[in-house]
């Protein structure tokens, strides 16, 4: 279950989380950021790497 929540319309696409993710689970497209549920291990490194707190760890799971 994916536990990383993305705050809509807040990401500035800096790419920091993408480079920090050990699983290559984060994809940045033109105006969209997605996390692959299959690849993500919920390690939460991306949450701590984001300089503007777009990503949140949600222990209830996302969706
Ligand atoms: S929680 Fe870990 S594995 Fe999942 S997207 Fe973030 S950095 Fe990658
Ligand atoms: S680190 Fe934060 S602002 Fe940068 S691309 Fe990732 S979610 Fe967006």
29: domain CATH number is 3.30.70.20
Consecutive H or E run containing 19: helix 16-20
| Position 19 in a domain | yes
Pick the residue whose CA is nearest to atom 3 on ligand 1. 40
Domain that holds residue 24: 4-52
Please give the distance, rounded to the nearest whole angstrom, from the Cα atom of residue 48 to the centre of ligand 2. Answer: 10
Across 1-63, where does the E strand assignment appear? 4-6, 26-29, 32-35, 55-57
- For residue 27, the cross-strand partners are 34
Q: What is the pLDDT of residues 26-58, one digit of tens each?
A: 999 888 899 999 999 999 999 999 999 999 999
Contacts of 6 (CB under 8 A, 6+ apart): 33, 34, 35, 54, 55
Query: How many C-beta atoms surround the C-beta of residue 21 within 10 A?
Result: 21
Q: What is the pTM of this model?
A: 0.94
47: in domain: yes
36: Cβ below 6 Å to ligand 1? Answer: no
The count of domains in the chain is 1
Pocket residues for ligand 2 (CB within 6 Å)? 11-17, 33, 49-50, 52, 54-55
25: CA distance to ligand 1 center in Å? Answer: 6
- pLDDT one-digit tens code per residue, 2-27: 999 999 999 999 999 999 999 999 99
């Amino acid at each position: 279950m994916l536990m990383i929540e993305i705050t809509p319309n807040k990401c500035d696409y800096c790419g920091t989380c993408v480079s920090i993710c050990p699983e290559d689970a984060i994809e940045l497209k033109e105006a969209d950021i997605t996390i692959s549920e299959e690849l993500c291990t919920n390690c939460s490194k991306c949450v701590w790497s984001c300089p503007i707190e777009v990503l949140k760890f949600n222990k209830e799971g996302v969706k």
